Amino acid sequence: MDLQVGADLCFPHLFNTSCKKPATLWTDAVFLHTVLSIISLLTVTFNLLVIISVSHFRQLQTPTNILLLSLAVSDFLVGLLLMPGEIIRNTACWFLGDLMCSVYNFISYIITSASVGDMVLISVDRYVAICDPLHYSTKVTERRVKVCVCLCWFCSIFYSGVIVKGDMTQPGRYNSCYGECVIVVDYIVGAFDLVITFIIPVTVIIVLYIRVFMVAVSQARTMHSHVTSVTLQLSVTLIRKSELKAARTLGVLMVVFLICFCPYYCVSLVEDDFLSGSYASYVLFLFYLNSSLNPVIYAMFYPWFRKAIKLIVTFRILQTGSCETNI
């Protein structure tokens, strides 16, 4: 009897303190591992292509694409670190110890916060490009964008350190048994996190894109009018067609982000007992799935990304002067 009980434990030699293995059928566990591993591999591969494309080709190193590069880095880390970690947490025992569990939770907060920050920066970039096109080149420079991206990651690291400070100083303090990896955030801290990483960013994104949409519609109507006033003709030319297309593409990116993003924080509003259930895991994977969808959106709407992929997979980027290729 003791042998059978020991076989169900993550660490049989720690009979009194070990967690039980997840009660999952072997076939279901293999299927789940396979599917999630494939998604993780695709996320890493697709976002690595984005990172190489923007980093290698100088023509692609525009302020907007630098923001997309930062987002691709966070998405790449999601596929490389967070998805495998969630696979272990939900389909097997946590064999990496309490300290690595705390580090994993710390990293997950950093990547999530940075992704949200990147989305806000992208919405601000499109707002300035569409609503104030005459001053876009002077307000949104490559140097300023790089500084903003660095600040975004620095603030994410600092903010995440504050959120998980208790868990980092005392690893495993909330684990009920050995072989478990959980994080419990104080109610006040959780409410603060909800406001900072959900309510405020989503509000900013929605407000800015509503404004962008209204200006784009106004410009489209002006283009189709028969008014010959020089003033109106000048206002029509202020917003280039490429900027409107970029706004539309990034608008799709924002919508997909919100669809994957909102359920996670909606679940976080309910009781802790519900958060510990399987539904919370599915919602978290939906949030991480957004990292896989972003490069697909680029491939659908950006011809330069498709051309860059061809040059990368055919190893033509290894040729001398390939970074100057016209994309």
Residue-level pLDDT at 139: 92
- Please tell me the distance from the alpha carbon of residue 190 to that of residue 162, in angstroms, as a whole number: 11
- What pTM, to 2 d.p., does this model score? 0.86
| pLDDT over threshold 80, residue 29 | no
Residue 15's pLDDT band (boundaries 50, 70, 90)? Answer: low
Residue-level pLDDT at 274: 43
| pLDDT over threshold 60, residue 183 | yes
Domains in the chain, CATH or no CATH each: 64-292 (1.20.1070.10)
Mean pLDDT of 98-110: 91
In this predicted structure, which of 7-11, 248-252, 288-292 has the lowest mean pLDDT? 7-11
Residue 221's pLDDT band (boundaries 50, 70, 90)? Answer: low
Residue 244's pLDDT band (boundaries 50, 70, 90)? Answer: low
Letter string b/e over residues 67-88, b meaning 16 or more CB atoms within 10 A of that residue's CB: bbbbbbbbbbbbbbbbbbbbbb
Residue 54 sits at φ, ψ, to 5 deg, of -70, -35
What is the DSSP track for 88-112? HHHHS---SHHHHHHHHHHHHHHHH
- Please tell me the distance from the alpha carbon of residue 45 to that of residue 48, in angstroms, as a whole number: 5
